[in-house]
A and B are shown apart, each in its own frame.
Chain A
């Protein structure tokens, strides 16, 4: 009986040793699907699921603008193969599988040998996915494969140094504290769908200067044009006057936008990083109100857009 107990104890220890043995003893797993990441990285996955990267392939706006991806050139960035499979800054190509996951974990993190890349210099290489630090993960080169198709990275390169921030990541992957006290880069990628991010990108001013009522929009918070992205985005500045106690209609003062290539009657009116644009307004009124509305597509109605900033100035009390 004692012998049997001893045998089981030895076997049990052997089994435990086998379970606890370093993963290096196993051949590297092929990381082929981002669903494999979810078990260990649920918190990051939850952030990513709320992002527009996760939504990239199924987003109805994208579907509409790409004619349901009949414009197949759009698929490459909306369901890409791993970016690290391509030279730095080169464009990506479309993948075949799990397109519904959009810009998924592997799109940014998978390396060609089946491993996983991270921007964390203290990465725990013993973790099952054997993460390793890859310099490109923290560089604009990683993002430019897709985001320079519409010139955002070129705009960043030409931005004033004080607005360049910590590459793209400084604004779009800020450090977050997650449950359990661990910190990490936010995988929700706050950008134009996030009101706080929009509000921090530009400031809107309304005041009287030398007797002139003037409103000024300044791109003092983003390291690229406002709105960035060729074609799809627009920001409209509106004004409303109060005369004889009556509020007038909102009137569009200006549209900030880079037009589609075939909109030949329009020019690029984006506001470059660090620059301002002022508009002189009427001063023969009781009050002036201005508001900036951001639209994720240029055909969107004013009501469907997001009010980023607004201001009111009482002139004649």
Chain B
């Protein structure tokens, strides 16, 4: 009899366990969003339309001004008739187009740095992008100076790298670059001539810029033309080739604080790539995007969190705010989300949750998390326990992915220590 029973159980057991393995698909909605970018681009101003030849003529005009005398005066009168947009576009065209003539590029950067642009600052994003592509080190210092004049400290990284670089490296004009950098850090420290003092001041400015993207010395004028430029920039997120996308991300993460409001608004655009890259860029900027959250995202994140295409990015962004208040928004995703949502939620919780250890332990009973999610939850548990970090040994977890999560845990500790 018992033999029959055992046979019956053996026969029935597999079919029962198969039923249990079936996971219901989490329902997400394909929300409809507005054409946010198009609405802004309809009336947005654009750069003047002329090519490199006209740009070269313009820079010759500036050269003639410096000759002085009658020729100089005549050239100056012609320069005076040019608008700021024309001049900026010409100088930017030169530095974007002429790869061979370093001297000419330096000259164009210097003109951008030395001129008083008043509130004409729409060149900031285009000039910021030069930090990605300009290989001439002295030019990078001039870019940093031009940007600082209009309230952007995006070039400080380049200044620090150059000052920290040992002269053993074979870099053209490194000494010139170092001397320009030393001049620049004195300039932004009210002309002090003590290098050590200037260096410390630079570090403070740099840390502040990295965390809140503001420069107390000069405030960037958030005027309409500048905003138009940002809308053109965020439109690059729609591109099929990745290069324009990466260029736009590069620039946005280096812009002053108010620029984040454009990203926050565009995060509800009807183009899924735009939504994705806006949230991704804000995520990379971490806590410095609090303004973006306050500005627009607090309300839209709920919709984005249930959007078929944007949910994972929205979850990830919540984590990057590193605010405990986000944890309760994340919890439903880790309990009921799909595989990707659960990974994103586990990562996000690692960055912000302050739950009881027991609550995380209960989650960890579930074996169906991705290796990445398991790693985040284990690190979170260690963190909550106050234990020394034990590097999780998880099958299928890439080393790079482990490192990212260890970095998040360290950031959390730094934030707690502050």
> A residues within 8 Å of B by Cβ?
4, 8, 11-12, 15-16, 18-19, 26-30, 32-33, 35, 57-58, 63, 68-69, 71-73, 76, 81, 89-91, 93, 95-101, 112-114, 149, 261-262, 264-265
Are A12 and B24 in contact (CB-based, < 8 A)? no
Tell me which of B9-17, B109-117, B122-130 binds A.
Answer: B9-17
Are A73 and B246 in contact (CB-based, < 8 A)? yes
Q: How far is the CB of A46 from chain B (nearest CB, A)?
A: 17
Are B400 and A68 in contact (CB-based, < 8 A)? yes
Given contacts A12-B11, A97-B339, contact A27 B24 (CB under 8 A): yes
**CB closest chain-B residue, reference A89:** B240
Tell me which of B45-53, B188-196, B212-220, B368-376 binds A.
Answer: B368-376
A53 to B249 alpha-carbon distance, docked (Å): 27
- Asked if B259 is at the interface (CB within 8 A of a chain A CB), the reply is no
- Extra 20 A-B pairs, beta carbons < 8 Å, given A26-B19, A73-B245: A8-B4, A29-B22, A29-B23, A30-B24, A30-B26, A30-B338, A32-B23, A33-B370, A71-B246, A73-B243, A91-B240, A96-B316, A97-B340, A97-B372, A98-B371, A99-B372, A99-B401, A100-B401, A114-B25, A261-B243
- Asked if B263 is at the interface (CB within 8 A of a chain A CB), the reply is no
* A63 contact set on B, CB distance < 8 A: 400
- Asked if B31 is at the interface (CB within 8 A of a chain A CB), the reply is no
22 A-B pairs (CB sep. < 8 Å): A8-B7, A12-B11, A15-B8, A16-B11, A29-B23, A30-B339, A32-B338, A33-B339, A33-B370, A73-B242, A73-B245, A91-B273, A93-B276, A95-B340, A96-B370, A98-B370, A98-B371, A98-B396, A99-B400, A99-B401, A101-B396, A149-B242
Size of the B side of the interface (Cβ < 8 Å), in residues, is 48
Q: What are the nearest 3 A-B pairs in CB distance?
A: A32-B339, A97-B370, A100-B398
Cross-interface CB contact of B397 among A26, A33, A100, A114, cutoff 8 Å: A100
Are A262 and B135 in contact (CB-based, < 8 A)? yes
Are A29 and B21 in contact (CB-based, < 8 A)? yes
* B25 contact set on A, CB distance < 8 A: 28, 30, 113-114
Are A97 and B15 in contact (CB-based, < 8 A)? no
Are A4 and B1 in contact (CB-based, < 8 A)? yes
A132 to B316 alpha-carbon distance, docked (Å): 33
A100 to B402 alpha-carbon distance, docked (Å): 11
Are B339 and A8 in contact (CB-based, < 8 A)? no
Q: How far is the CB of B148 from chain A (nearest CB, A)?
A: 25
A15 to B397 alpha-carbon distance, docked (Å): 39
Binary flags per residue of B330-367, CB closer than 8 Å to A gives 1, else 0: 00000000111001100100000000000000000000
- Asked if B387 is at the interface (CB within 8 A of a chain A CB), the reply is no
* A261 contact set on B, CB distance < 8 A: 243
**CB closest chain-B residue, reference A57:** B398
A93 to B340 alpha-carbon distance, docked (Å): 13
- Asked if B222 is at the interface (CB within 8 A of a chain A CB), the reply is no
Are B240 and A90 in contact (CB-based, < 8 A)? yes
**CB closest chain-A residue, reference B98:** A264
- Asked if B166 is at the interface (CB within 8 A of a chain A CB), the reply is no
* A114 contact set on B, CB distance < 8 A: 25
* B240 contact set on A, CB distance < 8 A: 89-91
Cross-interface CB contact of B371 among A8, A100, A264, cutoff 8 Å: A100
Are B8 and A11 in contact (CB-based, < 8 A)? yes
Are B339 and A264 in contact (CB-based, < 8 A)? no
A57 to B398 alpha-carbon distance, docked (Å): 8
- Asked if B386 is at the interface (CB within 8 A of a chain A CB), the reply is no
A112 to B26 alpha-carbon distance, docked (Å): 12
* A29 contact set on B, CB distance < 8 A: 21-23
A98 to B22 alpha-carbon distance, docked (Å): 20
Q: How far is the CB of A141 from chain B (nearest CB, A)?
A: 12
Cross-interface CB contact of A15 among B15, B312, B339, cutoff 8 Å: B15
Are A27 and B397 in contact (CB-based, < 8 A)? no
Are A69 and B400 in contact (CB-based, < 8 A)? yes
- Asked if B133 is at the interface (CB within 8 A of a chain A CB), the reply is yes
* B19 contact set on A, CB distance < 8 A: 26
Given contacts A33-B339, A69-B400, contact A96 B21 (CB under 8 A): no
* A90 contact set on B, CB distance < 8 A: 240
A57 to B133 alpha-carbon distance, docked (Å): 26
Binary flags per residue of B240-263, CB closer than 8 Å to A gives 1, else 0: 111101100100000000000000
* B14 contact set on A, CB distance < 8 A: 19
Q: How far is the CB of A73 from chain B (nearest CB, A)?
A: 4
- Asked if B385 is at the interface (CB within 8 A of a chain A CB), the reply is no
Q: How far is the CB of B20 from chain A (nearest CB, A)?
A: 11
Q: How far is the CB of B237 from chain A (nearest CB, A)?
A: 11
**CB closest chain-A residue, reference B315:** A96
Are B344 and A96 in contact (CB-based, < 8 A)? yes
* B284 contact set on A, CB distance < 8 A: 72
Are B241 and A149 in contact (CB-based, < 8 A)? yes
Are B344 and A19 in contact (CB-based, < 8 A)? no
- Asked if B54 is at the interface (CB within 8 A of a chain A CB), the reply is no
